[in-house]
Amino acid sequence: MYSVVRVYKMKSAGDIDKVVDATRAGFLPIVTKAPGFIAYTMAAAPDGALVTIGMFADRAGAEESTRLAADWVRDNVAWSVEGPPKIAEGEVRIQERRAEDATYGTMRRVNLQPGKLNEALEMMRTKMVPLLASLPGFSRVAVFETGPDALLSLAAWRDRASAEEATRRAMAFIQENGSDIVAGPPEMIDAEIKLREVNESALAPN
């Protein structure tokens, strides 16, 4: 599975709902037909940024979605955004899914000490993700590799309070267990989920 995250800087936070409605009516029918489509999420951050997350069976589908998004934004909502989005993409290495009732999401991008990727993934797989999944309000989490020394985690929660408690617990865990693995504090975005579409058949076990 491959994921792509695009973060758009909005000219006005007041236009977010208009863009969400336009995306639901116009872009969603397009991206869901992209090869290997699994899921698409759009979320609004308190600072006015708009975050989109695409999950696809492989890299080709994710890259096609980026091309489709660029064309659609240019033709339909370019008036609302400042410049091109920041894009992060990579192979999903860890995922856990319990429910689809989430209303709030968290994105954490962590730079690692050189050569610590496998150690970081093992820590995430055996300790961090089980910790998150045990917390009230947990919905889902995916961790993907964005570079040789970088990981990005995407988690979804039933509500904002659950997300904030998870962040507190996760940061305490990293301070206690990951000081020799991570290189500095993570880049963090918290956002209210505005739009979610899932291809359930692509997630069903074979």
Tens digit of pLDDT for each residue in 142-154? 999 998 899 999 9
Residue pLDDT, tens place only, 45-80? 988 899 999 999 999 999 999 999 999 999 999 999
- Going along the chain from its start, the domains and CATH numbers come out as 2-90+193-200 (3.30.70.100), 92-192 (3.30.70.100)
Q: Report the Cα 36 to chain-centroid distance in Å.
A: 17
Q: Give the N- to C-terminal CA distance of the chain in Å, as an integer.
A: 14
pTM of the model: 0.90
Q: In the 8-state DSSP scheme, what is residue 96?
A: E
Coil vs helix vs strand at 89: strand
Site of tokens 């507190």: 168
Q: Which of 15, 12, 72 is nearest to 40 (CA)?
A: 72
**What backbone torsions phi and psi does residue 171 show, to the nearest 5 degrees?**
-65, -40
